[in-house]
Structure 1
Amino acid sequence: MGSLVLVFSLSFLQNCTKEDKNIWDIEIEQPAGKIIITDISKEFFAPDVSMEQFKQKYPWFQGSVSDEDFVKRRNNPEEAKLYREAAAKVDLNLLGTDLAGLFARVKYHFPNFANPKVYTFSSSTQMYEEPVIYDPQQGFLFIDISGFMGSKNEYYKGIEEYFKVSMNAENIIPKTSEAIAISIVPFDKTSQKFLDQMVYNGKIMTLQDAFLPHLPDHLKMNATAEQYEWSSASEVSIWDYFIENDYLFSPDPRLTERFINPGPFSKFYTDVDKQSSPRVGVFTGWQICRKFYEKNPKTPISDFLAMSATDLFNKSEYKPKN
């Protein structure tokens, strides 16, 4: 297995970036309109807003939290301070403009999409793993601004480094796009072989290509630019490793933890591990889907999403080469 390290290293050194035409770079003529953002926490911590007034206006915000704990949180000066710092790092006017652009592209590809009501709030970093919640049924989009205060923020001490990578203001839009994409891509619990999982995630990433055609790829992956570059440079080696170990049609759930789920790195069980980028299974699924569209550029998104992983893979003719 020692040769794998050499192969990965050589692939990285020999990487060449391909400049392909972006089929998703479509001019959008129908704007989404002005997006109004409601800052819930601003009222939550406002002394001139009574708890009764707040609960009447936002009856769903308290959730299962007891009245006693709800009041304690509201009167906690540290939580109020954290909220103010988070709010100072997010330009709501700019965010509204960026969301309008995102929503317009979603609606272009999915005409039934309706702009959600947008709310920002602070969970005091409790929701850092899932700081954006999109509910298409209720038409709500919640953005936890305490999850985007900057990867070096002192409030993030104790949080795993691989989560901190995407806890910057620039990650709000791609994480929102990801949440919307997840709500659209069909998920089949009965098809959970490794290829199924790679292509499922690849479809989510492809929708992000469609929704955010000008955004750097590493932001869509919740990764650093260096991590994305490592995956791109090592694409051939990653694929060879999967093939040599007969992983494509394996139902082994451990492959999800090794190559799909967030983590500090991927787990090849070789010396290359700590140098590697996380979620290389997601990256590979994305490249399979991109190859499919390279071969079949006129395929409607609805047909693409409905395809099985095996059918899509076969029609992609994916086989990366040096």
Structure 2
Amino acid sequence: MKFFKYLLFSIAILTGMSSCKKDSENLWKVDVKNPVEKVELVDISKEFYDPNVPLESFTQKYPFFQGTVPNEDFADRRKDPEEIKVYNEAISKIDLKKLNIELASLFSHIKNYFPDFTEPTVFIYSSALQGAADPIFYHAKENMLFIDLTGFMGENNPNYKGMEQYFQKSMNPKNILPKVSLILAEYFITPTGDSQKFIDQIVYYGKLMTLQDAFLPQEPKALKMNYTPEQYEWAKANEANVWNFFVENNLVFSDDQRLNERFINPAPFSKFYTEIDNESSPQIGIFSGWQICKKFYQEKPETKLADFLKMSAQEIFNQSNYKPKN
């Protein structure tokens, strides 16, 4: 059986077919009660590069920002013209009013499913590109969320010279919200230590993507995966072919940890070790796990999200009856 036989069709035809299909009922489009009205959004770097703000005052206000940088170097960095230039460009790419509205909506949806969640203070800043490849982190204990704006200056930005192109595809301002959502989603799922099989891994990530659907019901599906529209269309068009490959090669219940590198970890493409690799979408294992979880909710739409997150991968897979067809 030839793998990916349907790639003979043009992408235009596949896109047209996909657009004609009706999406299944979106369980996650809900009316949120008591929505968050406004997010506390703090621009740390605006004060850092402001010569009118005394360094002592700044360090007292943001004691966590200096890290291990010596006082003398820290003072010099405030006057570094290249750092200031990068910050000014990065902040110019962001519509802060729009971002505030989007984050408020995100936090509202999270609170809808997890009432104990308290919206964090959001700090935006410039790392002078040092943290651009990993621009979001969340300190749950202190309830602080950090967004490095230099991670969202736009694909092919001259400042990203030398960075892998596949990383740059998700370094646009529109990627901020889904990346924030994903970081927060990780907080609600605790992977079990004995989850070594491939099915355990992909369903774990499928749970994360299900939270993406719940937290961002209006967000384009491609952005939730850090995909381009073309990568998402490829994944949808080849969903059954990919799953058949996993089944026919006995990968679904395999404990081969190399499968993570091939189908889960960030990369320019997935690694089937066939002639089609260069055309494939990356992290296709995550996409497959997402589809398993979607199918589960088609079968069990009454399942509460908190209960779903506690279920094992085997339970979810068995109850999903996942058997995609071309």
Q: TM class, shorter-chain normalised?
A: over 0.9
C-alpha distance in 2 between matches for 1:50 and 1:250? 58
Equivalent residue number for residue 117 of structure 1: 121
Equivalent residue number for residue 265 of structure 2: 261
2:266 is paired with a residue whose SS is: coil
> Is 1:46 aligned to residue 50 of structure 2?
yes
C-alpha distance in 1 between matches for 2:7 and 2:258? 22
RMSD: 1.5
> 2:110 is matched by which residue type in structure 1?
V
Equivalent residue number for residue 158 of structure 1: 162
Equivalent residue number for residue 212 of structure 2: 208
Maintained 8 Å contact 1:119/1:142:
yes
> 2:3 is matched by which residue type in structure 1?
L
* Deviations 1:51-98 (CA, angstroms, capped at 9, x unpaired): 211111100111223333323322211011100111111121111111
Q: Which 5+ residue runs of structure 2 have no aligned equivalent?
A: none
The alpha-carbon deviation at position 241 of structure 1 amounts to 0.5
C-alpha distance in 2 between matches for 1:310 and 1:304? 12
2:124 is paired with a residue whose SS is: strand
C-alpha distance in 1 between matches for 2:139 and 2:156? 30
* Deviations 1:208-254 (CA, angstroms, capped at 9, x unpaired): 00011111100000110000110000000100000111111111111
> Is 1:6 aligned to residue 5 of structure 2?
yes
> 1:86 is matched by which residue type in structure 2?
A
- Per the normalisation by structure 1, the TM-score is 0.96
1:4 is paired with a residue whose SS is: coil
> 1:92 is matched by which residue type in structure 2?
L
2:3 is paired with a residue whose SS is: helix
- State the identity %: 51
How many aligned residue pairs are there? Answer: 321
Equivalent residue number for residue 172 of structure 1: 176
Equivalent residue number for residue 299 of structure 2: 295
1:318 to 293, 297, 322: 322
C-alpha distance in 1 between matches for 2:48 and 2:6? 55
C-alpha distance in 1 between matches for 2:73 and 2:8? 53
Maintained 8 Å contact 1:11/1:233:
no
The alpha-carbon deviation at position 8 of structure 1 amounts to 4.4
1:27 to 11, 31, 37: 31
Q: Which has the higher contact order (CA 8 A, sep 6+)?
A: 1
- Per the normalisation by structure 2, the TM-score is 0.95
* Deviations 1:88-110 (CA, angstroms, capped at 9, x unpaired): 11121111111111100000000
C-alpha distance in 2 between matches for 1:284 and 1:5? 15
> Is 1:251 aligned to residue 290 of structure 2?
no
Equivalent residue number for residue 237 of structure 1: 241
C-alpha distance in 1 between matches for 2:7 and 2:289? 19
Equivalent residue number for residue 92 of structure 1: 96
1:119 is paired with a residue whose SS is: strand
Q: Which 5+ residue runs of structure 1 have no aligned equivalent?
A: none
Equivalent residue number for residue 189 of structure 1: 193
C-alpha distance in 2 between matches for 1:222 and 1:228? 9
1:118 is paired with a residue whose SS is: strand
